Structure formats: C-alpha cells, structure tokens
Amino acid sequence: MSRKFAVIGLGMFGGSLARSLYELGNDVLAVDNVKDIAQKMQDHCTRAVIADATDKDTLAELSLQDMDVVIIGLGAPLDTSILTTLYLKEMGVKEIWAKAVSDEHATILKTLGANRVIHPEKEMAEKLAATLSTPLMMDQLEVAEGYSIIEITCPPSFIDKSIMDLQLRNKYGVLMVAVKKPGEDTPIMLPTPDYVLRSGDVMVLMGSEKSLEDIFGTG
C-alpha cells in the first residue's frame, strides 16, 4: 500500500531517498530551497516544492502533518535541521526522521522530538566494514532494532549437511528464510529440514545480530 512521505532537503541523501521512495510507488513531496534542485526533482516525485524549511509559515502551508513520515535530509548549517525539526514537532507531524552529521547533532534532534535520527555516512561505513571483515557475507538488511536478514555464502563447515543437522534455530536462534543455488534465478523459499546445503549455495538467514555473528564464525 502506498504511503505519503515528505523529504526536506534534496542533496545527495535526500534526493536519492525521495527518488527511491517514489520509484517504490509512494506519494512523495520533495522540498528544497534551491529552485534548480527542486525543478530537477519534478519527474522523480509526486510534487516538488521550492520552500525554506526554516520559515515556519511556509512549512505550515505544506500540510506536512498529513504525511506518514517527514524526512529531514538537511545537513550543514546545523541550525536549519534543528529549526525544521522543532517546527515540525510543533505542527503535530506524527513521524519525523532527521539526518544527523554528528552525535551531538543527533542528541539535539532527538531532544526536539525526532522519532528517528539517521547517520547515513556512519551507518553505511559500519555496514561496509562488516561486509569487508566477513568475506562470506553478501548483503544485510536490518528488519528491526538488533535483528537483520543477511545473505551469506554457505560456510565450508555447513557443506553437505542438512538444515536439520545444523540445528540453526535451536543452536543459534536463526531462521533460514531461503537458499539461492548457483545458476538458478528462483530461490528455494523456506527450505525443508532435509535440504542438504552444497558448495556455492547462498543462505538467506534471519536472526539477531549476535546470533548472526555466531554463524559468521562457523566458517
């Protein structure tokens, strides 16, 4: 089902986010105070608006309280995102996500009422570091705080063993969601306990980050 988003600040982070949300079929209002940037976004969102987010009256005219989520993608100077967060909270916007450029900035945004603070560079760096330090891991998606779905190449110690033999759920608290076999486009969803893993198989696993780290160490 389509949701309604507003993205304020269309730099590299905000612009990419607005485009992706729109391509996924959502209703996206894109806002920036630079005319050229807003105009370039017109074909990649539901509506693009030129507006100064630090002007409270201007924000009020956008009916942002009707959105499911408002994302503040503003960076420096910090007072722009701080003022915008404050005004959105006063307007009654129910879900505010804000980009932070430092831990101190994040603390201020949370204090003002941001429901979630995003550190794009920091979060991407942490994900990249995890991938680089764990060669088997191919991709990771956070599904809830402390829990992820990952794709990981079958470790040598798992090869020629069945899912029942591995006891992944009992030993690690991890659920095998699917298996992708080399050269096949369609994955095996929810493989049965008697499925035997082979070299080159890619496992799609869901579990807590701690449990998944235990899996990484089995190779």
Q: What domains sit in the chain, N to C, each tagged with a CATH number?
A: 4-120 (3.40.50.720), 134-216 (3.30.70.1450)
Q: Interhelix angle for 103-112 vs 78-91, to 10°?
A: 20
> CA–CA separation, 83 vs 74, rounded Å?
11
Q: What residues form DSSP beta bridges with 4? A: 27
Tens of pLDDT, residue by residue over 106-136, are 999 999 999 999 887 777 666 656 555 555 5
How confident is the model at residue 127, as a pLDDT? 61
Contact 174, 215 (CB under 8 A): yes
Residue 97's nearest CA partner among 78, 76, 122, 74 is 74
CB contact set of 53 (below 8 Å; sequence gap of 6+)? 8, 9, 31, 33, 59, 72, 74, 80, 83, 84, 87
Q: Are strands 116-118 and 175-180 parallel, antiparallel or unpaired?
A: unpaired
How confident is the model at residue 57, as a pLDDT? 92
Contact 203, 189 (CB under 8 A): no
How confident is the model at residue 1, as a pLDDT? 66
User: Which stretch of DSSP H or E encloses residue 128?
Assistant: helix 120-133
Residue 208's nearest CA partner among 155, 154, 169 is 169
How confident is the model at residue 219, as a pLDDT? 39
Tokens of 46: 């539901």
Does the model's pTM come out above 0.85? Answer: no
Would you call the peptide bond into 77 cis, given omega within 30 degrees of 0 as the criterion? Answer: yes
Ranges under pLDDT 70 in the chain: 1, 124-146, 216-219
How many other β-carbons are positioned within 10 Å of the β-carbon of residue 81? 27
SS3 of residue 140 by DSSP: strand
**Residue type (1 letter), 175:** L
